[in-house]
């Protein structure tokens, strides 16, 4: 079972961290650089593609790491997989409590009829900052998984 779960944990955690790194290095700077008129449609475009994919990867890594923390014969690897679970729970919390509400709000906007107080409501900096938090967490989870695998070799 471990021979199937370990590659799956690395795959899911690598895809989750990689997707978030892409959004941190490319997506967020792009969104910040866009004019208001272009920002909303581009954010909506990205949300439609990343939102189904990222939660699957992140939750997949979390679930597989829970199982690995329990069944792994190495105590050190088990602690590392368990630590990754805690990090992924924090990543999910940041996503659900901070980034997802912003994504849903932006997705609901009419790009041609933005709120009058858009300058005050513009969520780009907040979204970028919380995205950097969850990107750091997801990368930490990947590092923990990779380190745990080292103790299984």
DSSP sequence for 70-84? HH-S-HHHHHHHHHH
The pTM of the full predicted model, rounded to 2 decimals, is 0.95
Domain boundaries defined on the chain: 2-152
d(CA 82, CA 88): 10
Listed residue (145, 134, 24) closest to 90, CA to CA: 134
pLDDT per residue as tens digits for the range 87-133: 999 999 999 999 999 999 999 999 999 999 999 999 999 999 999 99
d(CA 61, CA 134): 14
pLDDT per residue as tens digits for the range 46-79: 999 988 899 999 999 999 999 999 999 999 999 9
């Amino acid at each position: 079972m471990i021979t199937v779960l370990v590659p799956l944990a690395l795959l899911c955690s690598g895809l989750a961290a990689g997707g978030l790194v892409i959004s941190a290095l490319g997506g967020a700077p792009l969104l910040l650089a866009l004019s208001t008129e272009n920002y909303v449609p581009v954010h909506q475009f990205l949300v439609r593609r990343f939102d189904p994919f990222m939660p699957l990867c992140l939750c997949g890594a979390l679930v597989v790491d829970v199982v690995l923390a329990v069944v792994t014969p190495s105590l050190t690897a088990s602690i590392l997989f368990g630590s990754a679970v805690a990090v992924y729970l924090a990543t999910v919390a940041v996503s659900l409590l901070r980034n997802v509400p912003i994504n849903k709000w932006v997705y609901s906007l009419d790009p041609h009829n933005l709120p009058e107080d858009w300058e005050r409501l513009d969520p780009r900096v907040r979204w970028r900052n919380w995205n950097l938090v969850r990107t750091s967490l997801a990368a930490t989870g990947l590092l923990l998984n990779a380190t745990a695998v080292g103790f299984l070799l």
